[in-house]
């Protein structure tokens, strides 16, 4: 296989990892909304925690995106 083609396929495969981040962020905000609708008075104080959790989950997806960028533009 051509090395350039292999790089592009690898970058595409690496991006699949972002699906996990999507699931994670969706779970966090979904559960936050479930909790917030059950007890709206506690929602405001927990929004920061939801953001931190979403940021941590999203960061892992960004890692796979960075791997894809490395394959496309650096390697």
Partner 1 sequence: MTDPAVDPIHQFQIYDIFTLGEVGGVKFAMTNSAMFMIAIVVLISAFLILSTSGRGLVPTRWQSAAELMYELVASTLRNSAGTEGMRFFPFVFSIFAFVLTANVLGLVPYFMTVTSHLVITAALALLVIFTVIVYGLMRNGLGFFKLFLPSGLPVAIAPFIAIIEVLSFLSRPVSLSLRLFGNMLAGHIVLKVFAGFIVTLTAAGVGGWFAGVLPLGMTVALTALETLVAVLQAYVFTILTCVYLNDAIHPSH
Contact positions with partner 1 (CB under 8 A) in 10-49: 48
- One residue of 27, 33, 63, 75 binding partner 1 per CB under 8 A: 63
Q: Which is nearer to partner 1, 39 or 73 (CB)?
A: 73
Q: Can you tell me which of 7, 17, 35, 65 binds partner 1, judged by CB under 8 A?
A: 65
Q: What is the dihedral of CA 36, 42, 45, 47, to 10 degrees?
A: 0
Q: Which two tokens stand for residue 68?
A: 């894809």
Candidates 30, 69, 71, 75; binder of partner 1 (CB under 8 A) is 69
CA–CA gap between residue 24 and residue 57 (Å, rounded): 6
Tokens of 10: 């690898």
């Amino acid at each position: 296989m051509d090395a350039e083609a292999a790089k592009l396929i690898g970058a595409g495969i690496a991006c699949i990892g972002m699906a996990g981040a999507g699931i994670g962020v969706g779970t966090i905000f979904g559960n936050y909304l479930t909790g917030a609708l059950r007890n709206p008075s506690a929602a405001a104080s927990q929004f920061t925690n939801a953001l931190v959790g979403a940021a941590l989950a999203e960061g892992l997806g960004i890692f796979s995106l960075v791997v894809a960028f490395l394959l496309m533009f650096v390697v």
